[in-house]
Every structure is written in C-alpha cells, then in structure tokens.
C-alpha cells in the first residue's frame, strides 16, 4: 500500500534539455527530507512535452536514486492505449514499484471505453496500477462504479483522485473496500481527504516543502492531530500560491528560489508573471522556506 506524502516531481530543464543532475539531486533531497514516495513523469513533471526517450530516461534516473529506498510510482498515462501500454511496460522493466495512469484525455471515452483502456494496460504488465482521475484536465470523470469494476483486476490497486469532491473517497471506500489505495491529488484538501478514508497525497508542494508535508502525514498516522492542524495551516498559503498560474510554472519558480533547479518550463507553459512571482515568494517565506 502506498501512503503518506508522495511527491509529484518536477522535471528540471537546462538549455532546453532535461537537467539530469538537478533531477537526481532533487530525488535524493526528497528521500533525505522524509518523503514517502515519488512520482516522476506526471503532470507536474511536464510529461506531455517530454519525448518518449526523455520520458523513459527520467523514469530510469529516478529509479537509480530511489530504488529500495522509497517507492517510485511512474507516470505512464496516455490517451492512446497502445502508447500507455508501451510506457508502462518500460516502467516495469526499469524497476518501478507502480504506474500512475491518467484517464484518457481529449478522446472523451465512455465509462466502457475507460474500462477497456485500463484493462488492456493492466493485462499487459505485472505492475500495480493507480488510476489517475482528474476531470479538469482530461474532461472525463471515472465513476465510482467504473472504478469498482476495474478494482476487480489484481493489477489495479488504487486511485489518485483529483476531482476535488471530498465525498468521493468515502463513496469509493464503501463501494470498493478498505484495501483500495485512495490518494488525494490536491494539496489543499489533503487532510480532509485523509479524514474521508484516504491513505496519502500525491503532492505538488512537497517539491519545495518535503519535510513539512512528510511531517504532516506522519503526524496523521500517529494521531498527533494538533500537529496535523498546525502543519496544515502552515502549508495552506503555499498550496494555494503554487497554483496561482498553471502548474508547474509556480512550483518550478519556487524550486529555483531554494536553488534546486532553474525555473524553466517548456511551451506551451510560460514563465510566471511578476505578480505571481511575488505571491510564490511571499508564501515560501510564510512557510519558513526562505530566510
């Protein structure tokens, strides 16, 4: 079971290419700071603008550092079932602990289409698969009933829920059972998601505040609720600031402020505006991440 603070890793760039050293240094820092698992090549990792070769290389770089230290849940989704299978097979061969597979975007498949898509991927690999349900980006919303049907497959073990619907994890837990791994995809509702039966959060803010996020989840697990509320309140302004403009531009800028990488993104992402930079910097200072 995957639990706790799980970082949706950025992909640093330098001179237009993947900055491999900065990326591996970031992964090691996450481990040192107590992060419970990492996700390379998710949305925050700008997977839509990585070539297949870059995508596979980033996964390999992550596994090199994190293998047998913390779990690596690799982003391998695509709106093409064939492409998603190929990416997931590579992740399995590279030694990933699980794959995070997004619902097919742009195609707008039916619930039956989503069942066909995820079943084909799960049949093609011996690797735990976590469904990534994010209607704001993919347009489609997988129903609880569809997810319950897919959960019957032994390789489909959980969901990253970015619906923003806090009734959803409780409904999923009741419909599917306690063993299905429910992970929040939203930092700002992570604690509420835990209270509704969740196991952890795939986090953007833990790129820059890994220790605070890990401590929050450790406090929850150990029933130290006063610490949970305190850490939640420290992190909330940062969580909101990191989405003041499209992700991952704000979190990359935040990482640049603490020397982890350049703030570079790839088109169609663009650099932050000056007001957004000020907002992110203020939130970083408020969380105690900058002097």
pLDDT > 70 in the chain, percent? 100
Pairing of strands 13-14, 200-203: unpaired
The pTM (predicted TM-score) of the whole model is: 0.97
pLDDT digits (tens, 9 = 90+) for 151-168: 999 999 999 999 999 999
Give the other-Cβ count within 10 Å of 145's Cβ: 12
Give SS3 for 198.
Answer: coil
From the list 21, 69, 93, 132, the catalytic residue is: 132
- Given a cut of 90, is residue 119 above it in pLDDT? yes
d(CA 89, CA 280): 38
Going by DSSP bridges, is the β-strand pair 73-75/98-102 parallel, antiparallel, or unpaired? Answer: parallel
By three-state DSSP, how is residue 97 classified?
A: coil
Question: Residue 77 domain-assigned?
Answer: yes
Structural domain includes residue 291: no
- Is 131 part of a structural domain of the chain? yes
The whole-angstrom separation of Cα 82 and Cα 186 is 29
- Mean pLDDT value across residues 117-133: 98
Residue 54 sits in a domain whose CATH number is 3.20.20.70
Q: Quote the domain boundaries for residue 49.
A: 4-224
Can you read off the two tokens belonging to residue 108?
Answer: 């707008």
CB-CB contact of 290 with 255 (8 Å)? no
Whether 149 is a known active-site residue: answer no
Residues 190-235 have pLDDT tens digits of 999 999 999 999 999 999 999 999 999 999 999 999 999 999 999 9
Residue 235 maps to a domain: no
Q: How far apart are CA 228 and CA 221, in angstroms?
A: 10
**Residue 244 domain-assigned (yes or no):** no
Residues paired with residue 201 on neighbouring β-strands, in sequence order: 5, 184
Q: Is residue 117 part of a domain?
A: yes
Note whether residue 57 is domain-resident. Answer: yes
Please count the structural domains in the chain. 1
Among this protein's residues, is 132 annotated catalytic?
yes
pLDDT in tens, 237-252: 999 999 999 999 999 9
Asked if residue 291 has pLDDT above 90, the reply is no
Nearest C-alpha neighbor of 147 from the set 190, 187, 177, 184:
177
Question: For position 130, what pLDDT does the model report?
Answer: 98
Summarize the confidence of residues 5-29 as an average pLDDT.
98
Q: Is the pLDDT of residue 1 over 90?
A: no
Is residue 256's pLDDT more than 90?
Answer: yes
Of the candidates 286, 267, 288, 266, the residue with the CA atom closest to the CA atom of residue 278: 286
Catalytic residue, candidates 149, 160, 260, 279? 160
Supply the mean pLDDT for the chain: 97
Dist. CA 116–CA 214, nearest whole Å:
36
Q: Is residue 86 part of a domain?
A: yes
């Amino acid at each position: 079971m995957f639990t706790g603070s799980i970082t949706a890793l950025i992909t640093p760039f330098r001179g237009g290419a993947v900055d491999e050293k900065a990326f591996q240094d970031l992964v090691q820092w996450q481990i040192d700071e107590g992060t419970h698992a990492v996700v390379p090549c998710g949305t925050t990792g700008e997977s839509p603008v990585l070539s297949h070769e870059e995508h596979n290389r980033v996964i390999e770089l992550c596994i090199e550092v994190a293998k047998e230290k913390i779990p690596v849940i690799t982003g391998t989704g695509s709106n093409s079932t064939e492409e998603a299978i190929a990416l997931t097979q590579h992740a399995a061969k590279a030694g990933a602990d699980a794959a995070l597979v997004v619902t097919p975007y742009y195609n707008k498949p039916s619930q039956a289409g989503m069942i066909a898509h995820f079943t084909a991927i799960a049949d093609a690999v011996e690797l735990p698969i976590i469904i990534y349900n994010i209607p704001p980006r993919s347009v489609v919303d997988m129903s609880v009933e569809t997810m319950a049907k897919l959960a019957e497959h032994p390789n489909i073990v959980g969901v990253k829920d970015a619906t923003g619907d806090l009734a959803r994890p409780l409904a999923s837990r009741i419909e599917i059972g306690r063993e299905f791994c429910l992970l929040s995809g939203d930092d700002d509702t992570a604690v509420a998601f835990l209270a509704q039966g969740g196991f952890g959060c795939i986090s953007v803010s833990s790129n820059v505040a890994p220790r605070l996020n890990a401590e929050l989840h450790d406090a929850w697990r150990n029933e130290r609720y006063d610490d949970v509320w305190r850490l939640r309140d420290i992190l909330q302004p940062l969580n909101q600031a990191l989405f003041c403009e499209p992700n991952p531009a704000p979190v990359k800028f935040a990482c640049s402020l603490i020397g982890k990488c350049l703030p570079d993104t790839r088109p169609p992402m663009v650099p932050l505006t000056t007001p957004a930079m000020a907002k992110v910097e203020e939130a970083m200072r408020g969380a105690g991440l900058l002097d």
